[in-house]
Structures are given as C-alpha cells and as structure tokens.
Amino acid sequence: MNNLMIIGQYVPGDSVIHRLDPRTKITVIFFFVVIVFFANNLWSYSTLIIFALLSMFSSKVPIRFILKGLTPVWFLIIFTFLLHLFITKEGTKVVDFWIFEFYSGGILQGIAISIRFFLLILVTSLLTLTTTPIEITDAVEEMLAPLKKVKFPVHELALMMSISLRFIPTLMQETEKISRAQASRGVDYRTGPLKERIKAIVPLLVPLFVSAFKRAEELAMAMEARGYRGGEGRSKLRELRIEKIDIGIYIFFIIVAAIVFATRSYG
C-alpha cells in the first residue's frame, strides 16, 4: 500500500489526546485554526507552536510517523515560502544576488506563512491520527444535532459519512486485490504510453463498481433485516461524555488563546 497515505490514518493508542472527547478535539482544533490567523509576531507564534508541539508529544504517535505523513505537504510549505521570498518587497533589502533581491519583509512573511501552514496541517492531522472515523462521525452528529429543528437530516448525514468512511479501507483492499489479479493477466499500470495506461484502468474500475454496488445492496438488506429505520429514538453503544480532562483542555486552550491575543501586535 501507499506509504504516503498517512494523513488521516488512525494510529491506535491510549494517550490523553486519544481519550479526549472527539467534540472537544474538533472544537479546539476549529478555534486553533482560526487563531493561527491572528498570530503576527514572535510571541504569539511561539505560543501556538508550543501548544501544537505539546499536543503532538502527548498524543504519543511516533514523531517520525507524523513527519513522514507530512511529506506531501512539505512541497506546499516550501513553495509558499519561496513565493513570499521572491515577491514580497517590504522592509529593508537584505541580499542582492544576480537578478534576485531579497527583502527582510519577504523572508519574515515567508517564514510566518510556512509556520502557519505547518501548524494547520500538523494539528488537523493530529485529529485524524488520534480519533477513529466513527468517533468523528459521532461527534459531527452530536454537534449538528441542533439543526434537526430545521428538518436537516443530521442522522442520515452522519450515517452516510460513517458508511463511506467504513468502506474506504475495504475499497482500497479491493482495488489492491483486483489490480493484482489484472496485473497477473498482463495489465501494465506503470509503463507504456499514457493512452494505454488510461485504458488499463477499465479492467480495474469495472469490477470495483460491480462489487461496490453488490456490497451496497447487501448492506441495505442486512440493515433492513435488523430493523434499522433511522435516528428517531435510537440509542448509542458509545455515549459521548465530556469529562474533567476535556474541561481542562478547554481552559488550557482558552489561556493559550488569551496569550495569543495579548501578545499579538495591534495597529
């Protein structure tokens, strides 16, 4: 399987971060993402970086693994840095090299934006690294519950979400299996002209669709056989509960936010 597909892959564990209520995680991360855009000087950035690194270390997910998962994003981070370096012409001129002129403002901007990017991706991937997809959908369902009042199909949405999340690994396995079978029959996915390679996808897609539809039908039948009829009055196996630790995290986060707002420069 693809080793780069790590963003979003759940790593089982029993750390503080794993045990947090998923709603807490989602809320905190949401506001973290907002606050990242308010940081604008050394102190506010340092506060956020410390917060992010603290969460990363307390999640106990191997750091090598997290960094490896960020590989596809490094390119983006470096690209934005370079973009700012070359384009922003603020502050004093620092380097004058051949046709390039680097300004202090550009370098600082570049660093700041890259840090923003890095923080955003690090924290959001921590969510999926430490939370099972089922927990996330449960949390989404709970958090959207008020919308039921305006006839928004919250439960159905959550169900759709969890079914599709549930079947991603299955479909990936299936893809792997069928592509191996077709490769054994002489399909070449890797070399040859582009037209041939696009044609090679047909023997993969057709069986995949056939089995996906079959599976959907079987799932629907199994659900009906067990009397499933939607969210009304349905109880849950795992009740989400806000514990002391969640409240602790909220308070901690509010302090972090307060520090960011207190230290950022205004004007």
Residues of this chain that interact with other proteins (CB under 8 A) are 1, 3, 6, 11, 61-62, 64-65, 68, 174, 177-178, 180-188, 202-203, 206-207, 210-211
Q: Which stretches of 21-172 are assigned E, i.e. beta strand?
A: 93-97, 100-103
Single-letter amino acid code for the residue at 138: D
- Minimal distance, residue 203 CB to other proteins, in Å: 5
User: Which residue stretches of 149-201 are H helix?
Assistant: 154-184, 194-199
Single-letter amino acid code for the residue at 246: D
- Minimal distance, residue 192 CB to other proteins, in Å: 11
In terms of CB distance, is 65 or 79 closer to other proteins? 65
Q: What three-state secondary structure class fits 84?
A: helix
- Minimal distance, residue 6 CB to other proteins, in Å: 8
In terms of CB distance, is 1 or 237 closer to other proteins? 1
- Minimal distance, residue 104 CB to other proteins, in Å: 41
In terms of CB distance, is 114 or 128 closer to other proteins? 128
Report the alpha-carbon distance of residue 132 to residue 168 in Å, rounded.
13
Whether the CB-CB separation of 56 and 66 falls below 8 Å is answered with yes
Report the alpha-carbon distance of residue 87 to residue 119 in Å, rounded.
23
In terms of CB distance, is 77 or 178 closer to other proteins? 178
